[in-house]
Each structure stands twice: as C-alpha cells, then as structure tokens.
Chains A and B, each alone.
Chain A
Amino acid sequence: MKNIAILFVLVGSLLTISCNQWEKELSLPPTNKPTSGRVVLMEDFTGASCVNCPAGTAVVDGLLEEFPDNLVVVAVHSNFLSTPAVSGEVKLSNPDAQAIENFLGGWTGKPEASINRFKFPNKDYIRLDKPDSWRLFLKSELDQKPIIELSINRSYDSITRNLQIEFIATPKQNISENLHFHVMLTESGIVASQKDQQVGIISNYTFNHVLRKLITPVPGEKITGPFVAGTAINKIYSFTVPQDNILWQDSHLSIVAYVSADESSKYIYQAAETSIK
C-alpha cells in the first residue's frame, strides 16, 4: 500500500509541472492590412434592450476603424430584445430586420454577427457569438480575393425624397451560377436609450448602421447566369424615403448593396456602401 502511495505522489509531482513549459511556444500572427480588395458585409444582430449588445457594437466599431475600406456593417434590430430601453422611445426593430433573422436561420442570442452570411467550419450557425472572435472570421474573409466588383451610383431628390440606385456588378471571372442582388437602406446617428451591462441604461446612445428598409426581397433579386468576366451587370432600383420627425433623416441614410450566391447558398461575394446624398 505504501508503494502505491509513493508512486502516486511521484506521478502527481511530475504532472504538477505545467505542460506550458513542455510545449513549443506559439507566436501571434502579424496584423497585416488586407490587400485583396474584398469588401465584407457584417450584420450585427443587436437590440436596445440587450444589455450585452453595446459590447458587441464596440467591437464592430473597432473593426470599422481597423478596416475602413473593407467592411460594411448593418445593425439588424430583429425583435428579440429590441423593445425600446425606455418606454415610448423610438422603436428600431422592423419587419425587414426580423425577416433577415428568419432567413439566416439558427441563432442563440445577442449580440451575434454574421460575416458574409458564411457558415464557418465547426460553427453551428451562420450567426456567430463571442464578439471578440468576429475579427478572426472577418480576417479570413478579407483574405479571399473578390470574384465580383461592385459599385453603386445614386441620385437623390431632397424635395420629392425620391432615390434612384444603380447597382453595377462586374464579374472578375466567368460565373456559371445565378446571382442575387441585394439593396437596403441603413441609418446612423439615431439617438435613444440603450440597456447596458455595466451602467444599466445609457441615455444618449447613438445607434449607427441601423437597417431601415430592404429594397430587394429578403433572398435578393435573382439574376440568371452565366456571367462573363469583365461584362458589367446593371440594375436600377428606386425608393421614396418616408418623412418622419426622428427616423428617415436623409443626411444619415446610406445605401448598402451586396451580391450573393445562388439559391443553394446565402454566401455574399462582395458588398458596397455609399450615403444617399
């Protein structure tokens, strides 16, 4: 019996030496700026009554600062935890936001983000939790060269509030499958209250990139392939911006456009953004 005890103590002593000293030390990868020309769409699923969401939005803001030319953000205020933080204040959820949530499928909670609507390996859903992991997945998309170039031309009449949007997609390689064009409007600079884990309620929180209107259907407008490299595809969309005292401020509205794969995938090839004025 004594021998067994001695053996166990010896083995235990050996094991208490941290394995960290036994393994080869890793090193952090360099943080290079993307050179691929890829512009990624990131949908931030958030809500005014979601106490953890300001933390997610802060991460998104940091990513926009790091990749200003390669990232387009849409804040999707779907129904869950999107009631105003203070009763009577502006409601940012809308049926289009909920329709996107339904379209993307499974989710666990908020904050979550989709990145190019790609279901990454080993992830349960398109939507990703853990905001501090979003940069990793964003980087992997930014490293991919775009197969389509995208640009937006627009004209806006401030009096009639009529908006004309020209969507121009130019394949960089031959594409045999169908594509889907998507156009939406987002609004920034909306000031309202936001619940927060640290301070309870932030009274003058500024909501940016809030999805206001989907101009194309939720799955996008189907454009039948094949497509030849270098031959541009044009589509024109129009929308009359509603009048409202708080929302629909035309100086704060942006057009977000993106092109996605055929019906079998929701994957987004390229995104673009411009203000309406």
Chain B
Amino acid sequence: MYNKLIGIICAFFSLYQIDAQENLILGGGFQSNANIFLRDSQIGAANIPQYDHQIFGGEAWLNLNASYAGFNGGIRFDLFNNSNLLNPQGSYTDQGIGQWYITKSVNKLDLSAGHIYDQIGTGIIYRAYEERTQLIDNALIGVAAKMNFTPDWNLRGFFGKQRNLFSSYRSSIKGLAFNGFYQPKGDSVNWSISPGAGFVNRTLSSEMAEELLGIVAGYEPVDQFIPFYNTNAFTIFNTLNYKNLSWYIETAFKPKDIYFDPTAIRSLPRGNSTLGKLVSKEGYVFYSSLSGTIQSLGFTLEAKKTLGMDFRAEPLLSLNKGLINFIPPMARINTYRLNALYYPATQFLSEMAYQVDLKYALGDHWNFGVNYSDIRDHSFKNQLYNEIYGEIIYKNDDSWQLTAGVQHQLYNIAVYYGETGEENVNTITPFAELLYKFNRKTSIRVESQYMNNKTDIGSWLNGVVEIGYAPHFLFEISDMYNTQPTKGKKALHYPALGIVYTDGPTRFGVRYVKQIEGIVCSGGICRLEPAFSGIRASINTTF
C-alpha cells in the first residue's frame, strides 16, 4: 500500500516538470535523536535492553511537504531503532510512513485526506496532534472537508480512524465543528465574538465490543452493565474580545461512555472488593479563561472543572495511548529543571482547578511575575496540587539580565505517583539566572536552583552554565546533586556536558547526561521512568 502511495506522490511531484508555469514549492524537515546507553546501576540506569546489550537506540523523522497548483501534500518517514520513547522500559524497533496527506481547495471547500491533525475548541472533545517527546501522534487517518461560507464562518466535518504507530485503533471517529467570527461594523466598535461548537462520535469495532462484553461478563452482577458501540461528545465555546480583554468559555459534555476507572470499587466473589473496573458514565468539562492588559499589568485567569472525561479510541487504553481529547493543564509550565520536577498531570476523571498569572512591567528595566495555581479533585475537597511562583527580572540595557524568584509546591504524590501512604511533597525552590553578554557574539548564562524537600527524593541543588558563541556554538555544563537524600539513598551527582552547533536552520547537539529515575503510577498501573546515563545526540533541520 505504501509503495502505491509513494508512487502517487512521486507522480504528483513530477507534474512540476510537465508544466513549469506552475510553481512547485518544496519544503521539509529532519529530526533525529541518537542515544548511547552507558550502564550505571548506581543511579538505576540498568535492566532494560538498551543498557543490557543493545547499547544504542534512536529515532528519526524526515518529512517532505510540497505545494503545487493548489494542491498541498506531504509525507513523513518515521524510524525507531531500539527506541525507549514508546515505553521507557522497553525497546521499540519499527519504521515506515508515519504520515501522509493531500489537501486541495475548491472554491469555498477545503478538502483533506490522509493523516490529519486538527482540534475543536481547546481540544476538550477532540484534538489530533503530535508530541514527539512523548511519542504522542494521534492523527486521524481519514478525510476532512471544510466549507467556508464566508471568510469568518465555516463548518467542517471529518471521519476516519485514530493512528496507532503504523496501524490504527479499532474504532472509527467522526466529527463536525463549526467556527465563526462576528464584529459589528463601525469605527467605534470595540468588541467581537468567536463562537463555535463541535460534535464527535466514536464507534467501536465489533471485535472491541466483544472484548468489552467478555470483560463485563466476568464482573459480579452489581458491577455489570451492557456495553455499547457508540459514544458522543459535544462542546460549545466562545471567545469574547472587548477592548484589551479576551474571555474564552467552553462547556463540553459526553453522554455515557465506557472507560476504565482505576478508583472505582469492583466487587469480587465472597464479598471482597478491589479497585479498578470498566464503568459506563457521563462526563463533562467546564473551562474558562480571561486574559488582558491594564496599563502595564498583564493577567490571565483560568478555571476548569472536570468529571469523567477520559475519552479514548479504545476504552482499555491507558497513559497517553489512544486519547481522542486533550484537557488544558492548569499549572504553570516551568522551565528550570528543579522547578519542573513535580508536574501535575491532567486528571481526566476528577479535577477542579484555577490559575492566576500576573505580569507587571515597571519602567524599562523591571518585570515582575506571579503565578498561583490550585488543583483539587472534582469535589474541591482533596488537594492535589498547589503552586505559588514569583519572579523578578531586571534587564540592564542589552548587556545583562538577572532573573530571580522562588517557587512553592504542594504535590499529592499519592495521586500523581500512586505512592499511597506517602505524605504530600512540599517544596520551596529559590532560583536565579544571570544572562551576560560580553559582546554581540559571546554570552554566558548561569542558572541555579535549590529545591528544599524533606519527602520523596529529598533536597537537590542544580547548576547550569551555558556559554554561547554566536552564531554557531553553545557549550553547556550542569550538575544536579542530591544534597539531602531520603530513604537511605546515597547523595549522588547527575552531571551533564554538552555542545550545540547551529548552522542556519540546522542544529546539532551532543550531550553526556546522567538523569534521575522516577516512578509514575497512573490509571491503575505503575510505570518506571528509568534513569538515563549515556550520550544523547540530536539533529534538527528544516529545508
């Protein structure tokens, strides 16, 4: 099948030679990661095939896009060789066409076929996207059509199956989405709206339905229900813009769906019980964000409430597999290493959260930032996560910039890591970063964080020094050190040393890294994120 496909695409490109009057635009990109695994059992970098005998593992993606005579097309080759990206404890080897697509516009109608990425609203009922660092690629393999009634109002529909590596999941997905924009005419008008709505349906295959029937038949009568093929999800959303304010609101609802609830109590023979079973329940998400500026103050307020919104291509999938939807996270994305160590994964089944982000500029030199996020379960009683983050940035013209701040986190390790019985992680992490430019070419960046933590993995100190020599070189040296280990563990260093060479759009990097291990328990299973010890090389380019 792929040979035929490549033939069609080659024929498509060859049109360029037939009719030189049309402009053929070609572009693409290449990304590759190569890991050399150097066993270090002291930090836990051992007992997976890559450390035991494979030594090397990597991934690569090469994509080529073309535009010609109103057609757009693309093809991507994916390669995984002893890769631990799919499963950190495993080794995955495969290769093939990871994506192809063709699009064409006919008057007001846009047509697409192949692997299609798209989302409705913020993605609460449907988001097909690619995230290579986690090997998420849930493109829809199908067709889509979008009717542009006017430049501002459109309706689109799609159907197909969700991609599962080089095959697809056993369900069909179809949907409709409507988007619009309205602004009254007139020079004095200062408001507009962007309403939208969407619908998604998932139909299970007969084989999948039989599987569910077999599982539910094994439940005690009190837990049994009759599985069904079809599940729907609906959403309605709007953005209201008024002067410098932007208010987004979205409400999504999913009538009965079958999903695995790891917290549901399952009855067993003789009156015993255990946790985790398939359930048939409704779900919903309310989400809203308000952002704007008032003089020098910029702000974003967000709130979200989620119940039973796990929506997957197959009900038995877990972790990142087969997700049809995406629920916006409600915590700050931190970039410094220790500040980012504890991240609250979005809870699909029960979550209520809000976040406030403020930024204030004082004169030409000072910037202040404050972020507060609070995440609890659906009832708003059980605290899951709380973060208070503050930073001050002082910029001295073009020569240097200093950033300093402090972060406090409360992290429910029982929920996020499945470490029941362990007390919540409480961290206080001050941090600082200095960027100094010696001249237009040479700069140095120094960052450091200290995480004070009496639980879990203890307290840590991290330091990074980066020297940039524009436009080509970036040198990096860093070390993360367990200053106060817990649970009888040794105080160990986790150094990294790297160089990045940039040449136009091409970036080549090589790093020697030691990275700590972690355990993540989610959806009723515990998954080891092994420590890494070895050399990582990467190439990124676009053309």
Interface residues of A (CB under 8 A from B): 1, 4, 8, 11-12, 15-16, 18-20, 22-23, 25-31, 50-52, 54-55, 58-59, 61-62, 65-66, 79-81, 87, 98, 102, 105-112, 122, 124-125, 129-133, 135-136, 139-140, 195-201
Interface residues of B (CB under 8 A from A): 47, 52, 87, 89-91, 149-150, 153, 155, 170, 176, 178, 197, 199, 201, 207, 209, 211, 213-219, 224, 226-232, 234, 255-256, 260, 262, 266, 268-270, 272-278, 316, 318-319, 418-421, 488, 519, 521, 524-528
Q: How far does the Cβ of A101 sit from chain B's closest Cβ, in whole Å?
A: 9
- Contact: B526 with A20, CB < 8 Å? no
CA distance A125 to B176 in the complex (A): 36
CA distance A66 to B277 in the complex (A): 18
For B201, the chain A residues whose CB sits under 8 A away are 15, 19
Known: A31-B218, A108-B89. Contact between A55 and B524, CB under 8 A? yes
For A52, the chain B residues whose CB sits under 8 A away are 262, 275-276, 418, 521, 524-526
For B153, the chain A residues whose CB sits under 8 A away are 1, 4
- Contact: A20 with B230, CB < 8 Å? yes
Q: Which 9 A-B pairs have the closest CB atoms?
A: A200-B421, A19-B230, A135-B218, A136-B214, A58-B274, A109-B525, A106-B90, A109-B527, A55-B274
Chain A residue nearest to B530 (CB atoms) is: A80
- Contact: B268 with A62, CB < 8 Å? yes
Among B153, B211, B420, max chain A CB count under 10 A is at B420
Known: A122-B170, A201-B421. Contact between A22 and B176, CB under 8 A? no
- Contact: A16 with B526, CB < 8 Å? no
For this complex, 10 residue pairs linking A to B, each with C-beta atoms less than 8 Å apart, are A4-B155, A18-B256, A28-B217, A51-B419, A52-B276, A87-B488, A108-B89, A135-B215, A136-B214, A200-B421
Known: A26-B209, A58-B272. Contact between A107 and B277, CB under 8 A? no
Known contacts A4-B153, A106-B89, A139-B218; 7 additional CB pairs below 8 A are A1-B153, A12-B197, A19-B231, A108-B319, A108-B525, A108-B527, A132-B218
For A129, the chain B residues whose CB sits under 8 A away are 318, 525
Q: How far does the Cβ of A135 sit from chain B's closest Cβ, in whole Å?
A: 4
Chain A residue nearest to B422 (CB atoms) is: A200
Could you count the A-B residue pairs with CB atoms below 8 Å apart for me: how many are there? Answer: 172
CA distance A200 to B47 in the complex (A): 27
Chain B residue nearest to A11 (CB atoms) is: B176
Known: A20-B230, A58-B274, A65-B270. Contact between A108 and B87, CB under 8 A? yes
CA distance A55 to B274 in the complex (A): 5
Q: How far does the Cβ of A9 sit from chain B's closest Cβ, in whole Å?
A: 9
For A55, the chain B residues whose CB sits under 8 A away are 274-276, 524
Q: How far does the Cβ of B281 sit from chain A's closest Cβ, in whole Å?
A: 13
- Contact: A26 with B526, CB < 8 Å? no
For A131, the chain B residues whose CB sits under 8 A away are 274, 276, 524
For B272, the chain A residues whose CB sits under 8 A away are 58, 61-62
CA distance A20 to B209 in the complex (A): 13
For B276, the chain A residues whose CB sits under 8 A away are 52, 55, 130-132
- Contact: A20 with B274, CB < 8 Å? no
CA distance A130 to B3 in the complex (A): 37
Known: A51-B419, A198-B420. Contact between A23 and B213, CB under 8 A? no
Q: How far does the Cβ of A235 sit from chain B's closest Cβ, in whole Å?
A: 31
Q: How far does the Cβ of A88 sit from chain B's closest Cβ, in whole Å?
A: 11
- Contact: B420 with A26, CB < 8 Å? no
Among A11, A29, A130, A195, max chain B CB count under 10 A is at A130
- Contact: A130 with B524, CB < 8 Å? yes
CA distance A202 to B216 in the complex (A): 29
For A196, the chain B residues whose CB sits under 8 A away are 420
- Contact: A26 with B227, CB < 8 Å? yes
- Contact: A22 with B230, CB < 8 Å? yes
Residue of B176, B215, B519 near A132 (CB, 8 A) is B215
Q: How far does the Cβ of A155 sit from chain B's closest Cβ, in whole Å?
A: 35
CA distance A200 to B423 in the complex (A): 11
- Contact: A28 with B226, CB < 8 Å? yes
Q: How far does the Cβ of B210 sit from chain A's closest Cβ, in whole Å?
A: 8
